[in-house]
Amino acid sequence: MKIQILNMRQTRLLTALAALLLMPLALKATEVASPNGNVVLKFQIDNDGRPTYELSYKGKPVVLPSHLGLELARDKHASMKDDERDLLDGFKLVDEQTTEQDETWKPVWGETSTIRNHYREYAATIEQQWKTAHHPDRPGVKGMYYEDHSRTIILRFRVYDDGMGLRYEFPQQKDLNYFLIEEERTEFRMAGDHMAWWLPGDYDTQEQETQQTRLSQIRTTMEQAVNWGNSSVAVFSPTGVQTALQMKTDDGLYINLHEAACADYATMHLELVDAETKAFTTQLRGHTNAYTPNPKPARARLPQPFTFVSHLTPDATGLKGAMQTPCHTPWRTVIVSDDARDMLASNLILNLNEPCALDDVSWIHPTKYCGVWWEMIVGRGSWHYTNDYPSIKLDQIDWAKVKPNGYHKANNENVMRYIDFAAKNGLDQVLVEGWNVGWEDWANMWKRDVFDFVTPYPDFDIKALNDYAHAKGVKLLMHHETSSSTQNYERHMEQAFTLMNKYGYDAVKTGYVGDIIPRGDHHYSQSMNNHYLYVVKQAAKHHIMVNAHEATRPTGLCRTYPNLVGNESARGTEYEAFGGSRPDHTCILPFTRLQGGPMDYTPGIFVTKLSEWSQNPSWARITIAGSLALYLTMYSPLQMAADLPENYEKFDDAFQFIRDVACDWDESIYLEAEPADYITVARKAKGTDNWFIGGKCDEQGHTAVVKLDFLDKGRKYECTIYQDAPDAHYDTNPQAYVITKKVVKAGQTLRLKEAPGGGFAISLMAK
Amino acid sequence: MKIQILNMRQTRLLTALAALLLMPLALKATEVASPNGNVVLKFQIDNDGRPTYELSYKGKPVVLPSHLGLELARDKHASMKDDERDLLDGFKLVDEQTTEQDETWKPVWGETSTIRNHYREYAATIEQQWKTAHHPDRPGVKGMYYEDHSRTIILRFRVYDDGMGLRYEFPQQKDLNYFLIEEERTEFRMAGDHMAWWLPGDYDTQEQETQQTRLSQIRTTMEQAVNWGNSSVAVFSPTGVQTALQMKTDDGLYINLHEAACADYATMHLELVDAETKAFTTQLRGHTNAYTPNPKPARARLPQPFTFVSHLTPDATGLKGAMQTPCHTPWRTVIVSDDARDMLASNLILNLNEPCALDDVSWIHPTKYCGVWWEMIVGRGSWHYTNDYPSIKLDQIDWAKVKPNGYHKANNENVMRYIDFAAKNGLDQVLVEGWNVGWEDWANMWKRDVFDFVTPYPDFDIKALNDYAHAKGVKLLMHHETSSSTQNYERHMEQAFTLMNKYGYDAVKTGYVGDIIPRGDHHYSQSMNNHYLYVVKQAAKHHIMVNAHEATRPTGLCRTYPNLVGNESARGTEYEAFGGSRPDHTCILPFTRLQGGPMDYTPGIFVTKLSEWSQNPSWARITIAGSLALYLTMYSPLQMAADLPENYEKFDDAFQFIRDVACDWDESIYLEAEPADYITVARKAKGTDNWFIGGKCDEQGHTAVVKLDFLDKGRKYECTIYQDAPDAHYDTNPQAYVITKKVVKAGQTLRLKEAPGGGFAISLMAK
């Protein structure tokens, strides 16, 4: 920092000069169009020096003029003086760069074998300048002296034909070195009272049913929308929602708001400013003991109604982020089209992520698996081994002497049964939950040392079972439930991964049930997001694939770390045993949750009325044909056949589709789509000429019209159609399906009637 | 839990019966006297069912009737219903056990080769009973039904001839399984307005000057007593003080309050209820960004003035502890005597700790060391290597290309100089701080990934320097400054310890400067105390000794984990470079800080006016003879010769004492003691017949009268006396000393005049 010593006359002169210099330059907007011109970004600095952008699609407004900026927290450490001003206003534009990029890259696994990344990029360098006055207490120095300060940030936009990404970049500089984020204030001002498919904003759970309402109805719908029964709940605002947020405008635009490449930064929610909004608020509700926030006056001005404003997940102290330059935020994304299918086909979020960071990816592979899981979720067996203790301390139990409860399901005999089933049906792996000691009392006790991840229960012979599986060409799939005690997991992780290597596991399902330990932290905070990625990176060193449940919703990081093969991060099939989900649930998830990456939805429930084989009165609102469709409509490189072997054996002809279906693809074509109504997709299995088609619909039923114009011309395909019987219905007749075989070729059209809550699945084997 | 279904008549009957049953039994007090009868404990349950104890010494009151109990936090998880009642009152006595124990054990290192543990133990099992009423919504069930609840805790007292320990024990039981501590309410009601030597209660620093005031003056003295300049400060009450708290009564009793065996539990402070106390308060002040507590109404009743009440260190959410039964609190200790020397000779706190938990202790050894440290603390050199970056990200710097600042002190040449010095003077190890990358910006930035603990700066050749040292019979002493980023340390610890093993380090000095990451936590919370012990346990697996700075004050855990060879946890010698400490500082520490375990005080400053060799205007208020005395009066198995080699070379005849002095002992005899005035101690070097005697006094000077009646009768000793010259003075003439040699034998008396801020040191080599 330059320090000038001035006398009073100079001071006055300089003050006048400074006032002139700090006036914004001519307020000219810059326009940047996407490669095909459909999407147009406009950017300018407004009269208050606030960066402002707007977005349109084919001339229709997508985002009305919206401000960008961050409120910084005031830190009392002398070393943190950089944060004395917010990054909200007082900016001037000092540089602009527009460039174009067109490249094609190959994902390690995915919906297509190549992905085109074509965008126009606009980078606005903007600067804040200010002076601080000092009254020196030094002999011989008269008057004040001033210190010049300036802070430069870069707003980077990438404009695609199907949307836009924007992020804040903070170069390393004297006046912006370390800073704390009080709140990010990125605005998305909507052009009307759109229809929206939304989940309540929550710092700790994503496992809700999707609400379909107008924006103006979010507030009145919130209370009943919250999943108050989840193991960790922290709702912060009556108009706070999660991303990916799918909307549809009255003039037929589909708009999706989300984020890309969220690493070492808090997960973003969106708070809707509506007609009743008086101020930004954080009114934490839920049953977490964590964090009671102190409402602080926001320094960002309240925008117009129908504006979504970013709201980050806080840490235990209420702060949203601790940053060190050079650094940047994740990309804030807007996907837009007038065709709903483009929402599903978009690669915008993957494209905004960094290329693969792993040198060797040969060990990463898509996986079909079954598992010792559903019978515990439904309640016919237990993860835990004994009932004889009100609580367990791992180091104080002699497991060999403990009395088993008799219904522990991760036992040798049962696991062998699943291994046999997998081997017989060409499934790659068998997940076994409840194999390791500690399940007697594990969640929401604030119990830190809950699992050690290396000690099997006495009835789980880890060596013998892995040997048995390997001899049959099957692998076991590891399970690490952390119960959100992250410190405990990090302390044991290296040993746990070493154990996996020793016995030949190459994939782990992790879990984060319950409130976070260290207490006060939240599932989607900066530190937790750092933890999840730390696990993925450490796993990669051990050549282990990760499927993280209850972790933060994905933002495309699987491009950079393709061993992150799955996440749950939404309401999965387990809820079919907890009361069930609506029939349209799986027709929404691809528009929302799946935007950021694959979901381990664990589909494939054939016996949907659980009371048929258990005491559980819940039931899945889906037909068997609908269950088969999910292997296509819910893209994932990790697909489970979640039902019991004995249930599949009852419907072995339908199960043939699960045996056949691929989980890695060269090509994917979304044929039909409407949020919460129906999705139809055709996919070409990787390295083959075989196609698979799936269609899934809501409770209304749907008739899919599938034109086979994507097949190789002149080639014949053995076509097997698994569809709902005419009288099928998700409630009254879910097991009614018809299997038809015929030979088809390119150009033919298939009409497929989907029952309420049903669907269809087709395999097309090239002859 | 038994559930009874009752009709209304039964209900009424039972209510009456319950009222009878719940009435406390006859309020008879139990008395337990210490083995020699000097200390007497009285215990009873009062009319409100509150456990109450009192303590006397030779008939004089030490603790007036005081209540015991805990407030529990209400957790909203259904799984945590156990905590719906506090553990404050409504108790009845259901069992009493009195036993006596007399055993002798051998510490791995210590002031004496054997320690006698002789006490009478009293265990009171007390029970709370209550019923909850339920209105069943079941057809065919009329009226309410009741559930019986009971909770049993054990209050265990051990009564020694020099004091008492008490703790709460929580057996595993249905109605007390997991619970959260809102606050522990252990009272110590003092019998008068005693003189006290105290430090301000603070969740994050212990590095204050001791205040000497009456209890009634704590409140008015607090503001100026706080070390507001420390890197992490969190003061919670105008009458909150730390333990070990030393007091002296007007009738000549010395009373010390502290704790023993604090493991996986928050460190205790004491809040004084004085005449102005209106309610228990937590008014957090300091410059931490952490935790803004919400004042909650305490449910414990406010006791009488002059009562100290326990106040635990909170986590980020304000909670004080998460407990799982079976478990217990640390011991709350009262040491008492009418002879101040007994305060220093007491082994009560070590005795209350568990026996050694390590099978092999052969690798643990007392250590004399010097180090590359003081010249950085004083400001003549730096820990960091370059000045060229406003901040550093470890993975983004190519250190080989970085421009060095030219005054980085952990460089090969300088370290070799210290190794030479150590080898020449028989010092075992050389501490090197600033050897590893990251020191450019490390504290109070909320920087998580601050150090990796394995990458040396380019000018520190870790292999060559260790080889060089080993060839000369010297070891290097590792340094791990964590900057309180505990997650980062735990992530790197295994690799860091493995590196130490590889190069032959067997001891590490750890540091916890600045606010804790994860943000919101405090240095002395349950989770941090767990972290410190986790480090010690992990280090033990690598045969590494730990000397933890800025960690919580010790409570005798070094008995159980003797590789915990030192702690700082108080204002150490570094403060002589930060403005200095009072001359009586080292005459207080043995009464307070050292009660729980040794302090790495880093004594031995010979050139006390730092301006003699640096720009630093600070100075140490001690004479050279006083500095020598500290090697005896401040017992530690780890003793540093902290000054520069060149400073020692100027006073090589005085330095002979540091060469000679032992740091492990077969016998220790406190000859004279008065808090903040003087301490004189004689110690017999382990495995030899040689004795060393040290005397240290305050700014008043002192004449020690040392009767050599502890020497072997009939044996001659070569006696070398290092004492202040007649005109020595800590300020005006600190380097004036006289060395006298003579032959002495048992029964002789030495009179040793100590200058203001001075002292003496004597070696007695058996002939």
More confident residue, B136 or A657: A657
- B393 — contact with chain A (CB < 8 Å)? yes
Task: Please tell me the predicted confidence (pLDDT) of residue A141.
Answer: 55
| Phi and psi at residue A655, to the nearest 5° | -65, -20
pLDDT tens figures, A117-148:
999 999 999 999 988 777 665 555 566 778 88
Contact between B524 and B203 (Cβ < 8 Å): yes
Q: A273: helix, coil or strand? A: strand
| Residue A18 C-alpha, separation from nearest chain B C-alpha, in angstroms | 27
Q: Give me the half-sphere count of Cα atoms (radius 13 Å) on the Cβ side of residue A445.
A: 23
Question: Count of residues for chain A?
Answer: 767
Query: Is the separation of the CB atoms in A188 and A270 below 8 Å?
Result: yes
Would you call A648 helix, strand, or coil by DSSP? helix
Q: How far is B456 from chain A (nearest CA, A)?
A: 23
List residues of B with catalytic annotation.
Answer: 574
C-alpha distance from A390 to closest chain B C-alpha (Å): 7
Q: Taken in order A87, A89, A95, A100, is the CA torsion positive or negative?
A: positive
* A226 token code pair: 């919250």
Q: What would the two tokens of residue B21 be?
A: 């049953």
Q: What is the CA radius of gyration of chain A?
A: 28
Task: Flag if B445 and A519 touch (Cβ within 8 Å).
Answer: no
Six-digit token pair at B574? Answer: 């570094």
Closest residue by Cα to residue A761 from A667, A700, A692, A683: A692
From the list B294, B390, B534, which residue is nearest A292 (CB)? B294
3-state secondary structure A649-692: HHCHHHHHHHHHCCCCEEEEEEEEEECCCEEEEEEEECCCCCEE
Pick the more confident residue, A421 or B22.
A421
SS3 B86: coil
* Residue A9 pLDDT grade (very low, low, confident, very high; cuts 50, 70, 90): very low
Question: Has A574 been annotated as catalytic?
Answer: yes
Looking at the complex, does the CB of residue A530 fall below 8 Å from at least one CB of chain B? yes
E strand residue ranges, A252-348: 254-260, 268-273, 285-286, 307-312, 321-324, 327-328, 331-337
Q: Are B366 and B664 in contact (CB under 8 A)?
A: yes
pLDDT at B18: 45
Name the catalytic one among A184, A574, A699, A754: A574
Q: Which residues of A9-29 are buried (b: 16+ CB within 10 A; e: fewer)?
A: eebeeeeeeeeeeeebeeeee
Question: A566 forms bridges with which residues in the sheet?
Answer: A547
Taking CB atoms and an 8 Å cutoff, what residues of chain B touch A530?
448
Token pair 């303590």: residue: B55
Cα-Cα end-to-end distance for chain B: 74
CB-based contacts of B210, cutoff 8 Å, min separation 6: B197, B198, B199, B585, B588, B589, B592, B676
**Which B positions 426-455 lie with beta carbon below 8 A of chain A?**
441, 443-448
The DSSP letter of residue A11 is H
- A395 has a chain B CB within 8 A of its CB: no
Q: Residue A400 carries which DSSP code?
A: G
Contact predicate A207/A230, CB 8 Å:
yes
Q: Mean per-residue pLDDT for A241-256?
A: 98
Q: Tens digit of pLDDT for each residue in A42-90? A: 999 999 999 999 999 999 999 999 999 999 987 655 444 444 689 999 9
Length of chain B: 767
- Rg (C-alpha) for chain B, rounded Å, is 28
Number of Cβ pairs < 8 A linking chain A and chain B: 141
CB contact under 8 A, A444 and B80: yes
Cβ-in-10-Å burial (0-12, 13-18, 19+) of A428 comes to buried
What is the overall mean pLDDT for chain A?
Answer: 93
Helix (H), strand (E) counts: chain A: 13, 39
Q: Which residue of B has its CA nearest to A538?
A: B491
Backbone phi, then psi, for B167, in 5-degree steps?
A: -145, 160
What pLDDT was estimated at residue A639? 98
Query: What is the pLDDT at residue A107?
Result: 98
Closest CA to A597 of A631, A553, A641, A563: A553
Q: Which residues contact A340 (CB under 8 A, 6 or more apart)?
A: A248, A254, A591, A673, A674, A675
Three-state DSSP class for A710? coil
Tokens of B256: 């010390």
Q: Beta partners for A269?
A: A311
Q: Which residues contact A131 (CB under 8 A, 6 or more apart)?
A: A18, A146, A147, A148, A149
How far, CA to CA in Å, does B632 sit from each of A478, B625, B670?
A: 57, 12, 10
**With bands split at pLDDT 50, 70 and 90, how would you rate the model's confidence at A299?**
confident
Which tokens in the block code for residue A432?
Answer: 């076994």
| CA dist., res. B288 & res. B536, Å (int) | 27
* Contact partners, residue B561, CB within 8 Å, separation at least 6: B356, B357, B358, B533, B536, B537, B540
Interchain contact, A518 vs B519, CB within 8 Å:
no
Element (H, E) at A14: helix A8-22
Contact A75/B289, CB-based, under 8 Å? Answer: yes
Among A315, A445, A519, beta carbon nearest to B79: A445
Residue A20's pLDDT is: 45
Cβ-Cβ contacts under 8 Å, A491 against chain B: 490, 534
Chain A positions touching B177 (Cβ under 8 A) are: 390-391
The pLDDT tens digits of the residues spanning B459-487 come to 999 999 999 999 999 999 999 999 999 99
Axis-axis angle for helices A624-633, A652-660 (nearest 10): 0
Picking from B80, B390, B519, the nearest residue to A317 by CB comes out as B519
Q: What is the pLDDT of residues A700-736, one digit of tens each?
A: 999 999 999 999 999 999 999 999 999 999 999 999 9
Q: What is the mean pLDDT of each run of 10 residues along chain B (767 residues)?
A: 40 44 61 98 97 98 98 64 76 97 98 98 96 66 76 98 98 92 96 98 96 98 93 92 98 98 98 93 69 66 95 91 96 98 98 98 98 97 94 93 97 98 98 98 89 98 98 98 97 98 98 93 97 98 98 98 98 97 98 98 98 97 98 98 98 98 98 98 98 98 98 97 98 98 97 98 97
A80:B444 CB<8 A: yes
Look at residues A660, A658, A608, A602 and name the one whose alpha carbon lies nearest to residue A634: A602
- Yes or no, beta carbons of A325 and B391 under 8 Å apart: yes
Query: A444 contacts in B (CB within 8 Å)?
Result: 77, 79-80
Residues of chain B neighbouring A317 (CB-CB closer than 8 A): 289-292, 316, 519-520
What are the phi and psi torsion angles at A549 (to 5°)? -95, 150
Structure token pair of residue A362: 């040969």
Q: Are strands A507-511 and A475-481 parallel, antiparallel or unpaired?
A: parallel
All residues of chain B having their beta carbon less than 8 Å from the beta carbon of residue A513 are: none
From A209's Cα to the closest Cα of chain B, the distance in A is 22
The answer on pLDDT for A652 being more than 80 is: yes
Question: Which residues in A lie closer than 8 A to residue B530 (C-beta atoms)?
Answer: 448
How many CB atoms within 10 Å of residue A172?
15
CA angle, residues A303, A309, A311, in degrees to nearest 5? 140
The predicted model scores a pTM of: 0.94
Pick from A75, A315, A391: which is nearest to B178 by CB? A391
For residue B140, what pLDDT is reported? 58
The answer to whether A520 contacts B494, with C-beta atoms less than 8 Å apart, is no
CB A254 within 8 A of CB A336: yes
CB of A84 closer than 8 Å to CB of A204: no
Look at residue A5 in the predicted model and tell me its pLDDT: 40
